[in-house]
Amino acid sequence: MKKHLMSTNQHLKLQPAGVPECDCWLRLPDEVWLSILSVLPHSDLCRVAQACRRLHKLATDHTLWKKLRIENSTLSDWWLLCVGRRRPHSLCLYSCSSLSAASCGLEMFFSLCRNSLETCPGLQHLNIGQVPKINSHSFTVMASQLKYLISLNLTGLQAVTNVTVETLLQSCTNLQSLTLSSCPGVTDQTLHNISKYTPGIRSLDVSGCNAVTDAGIQPLAVGCRRLHKLDVSSTDTGNRGVTLLANYCGVDLHTVKLSFCHISSESILKLCRRCKRLKVLHLYGCAQLPTEQEIREVNTNVKVCPLP
């Protein structure tokens, strides 16, 4: 017992005020510290980094900043600069806003990510849906820098137009998942550009884009035959568009969302019949629905919501 107390006293030093000072925690191996810090949110990592030099080095380790997800938070140009220097591979900024963050801060962030692409695979997954300070210029800067994107979520962005999307698609030719839900600037021309520049796209969401019609579905269905997931809910997609999807995308299509579209039960049955891998079909708000028995006769695997 005496030896144990003597050993403890060697690690505990008393400051003049009588407060014990123990640095044994800081002597833990880096691997242990990184494991502990990996469970903290990035906002807490920023605070840890201000404690001392050693914790700053640990809290800013690149392995902790590969996947960054920030939701419903306030941003600033200074914050974007700090995060950009970490060169994340995956970034989600969802419903983030701040009066102190300007489009120049976003441009600076993506410029920093561009520099990181020289030595790393670069940013592959990006979610900036509902970020209000993104304008057309900052969007164009982003598109020119992030050439390795695989998935991109641009939900509700006013900066999304036919021109900006075309610029993006010309740069991000490996894009496999694109969400343009509730973007008022998305039209049939947008879908034409998607089929032209990213024919290998697997997942597309244009729900709530009122200007999307069967005329846009046609080049998409013909040009993007490897589509796995498609959401055209609350668009002007009709029977012709559904028939085109059934005729051209029947091999791989397994999730289709047609809620609040004006389509007939005959078109729905044809889609179910031709798309043998179809597993999920959303038909909320559709007036004409086939019966469950009719659907089961042509496709036994699909799950229809809501059930007829």
Instruction: Give one DSSP letter per residue of the chain, joined into a string.
Output: -HHHHHHHHHHEEE-TTS-EEE-TGGGS-HHHHHHHHTTS-HHHHHHHTTT-HHHHHHHT-GGGSSEEEEES----HHHHHHHHHH--SEEEEES---TT--HHHHHHHHHHHHHHTTTS----EEE-TT-TT--HHHHHHHHHH-TT-SEEE-TT-TT--HHHHHHHHHH-TT--EEE-TT-TT-BHHHHHHHHHH-TT--EEE-TT-TB-BHHHHHHHHHH-TT--EEE-TTSB--HHHHHHHHHHSTTT--EEE-TT----HHHHHHHHHH-TT--EEE-TT-S----HHHHHHH-SS-EEES--
| CA 80 from centroid of its chain's CA atoms | 18
pLDDT in tens, 89-133: 676 665 565 544 545 566 566 655 554 433 334 567 888 777 766
pLDDT for residue 28? 82
Asked whether 284 and 307 are in contact (CB, 8 A), the reply is no
CA dist 218 and 198 (Å) reads: 15
CA dist 99 and 169 (Å) reads: 30
The pTM of the full predicted model, rounded to 2 decimals, is: 0.68
CA dist 204 and 232 (Å) reads: 9
On the question of a cis peptide bond just before residue 306, with omega within 30 degrees of 0, the verdict is yes
Along the chain (308 residues), what's the average pLDDT of each consecutive run of 10 residues? 44 43 72 88 80 86 79 68 71 58 58 46 72 74 77 91 92 93 96 96 97 97 96 97 96 96 96 95 94 93 89
pLDDT for residue 120? 35
pLDDT for residue 259? 97
CA dist 179 and 185 (Å) reads: 13
pLDDT in tens, 35-72: 888 888 777 887 888 888 888 888 888 888 877 777 66
pLDDT for residue 56? 86
Cα distance between the two ends of the chain: 76
Q: Which two tokens stand for residue 225?
A: 């035959």
**Helix orientation angle between 265-274 and 239-248, rounded to the nearest 10 degrees:** 10
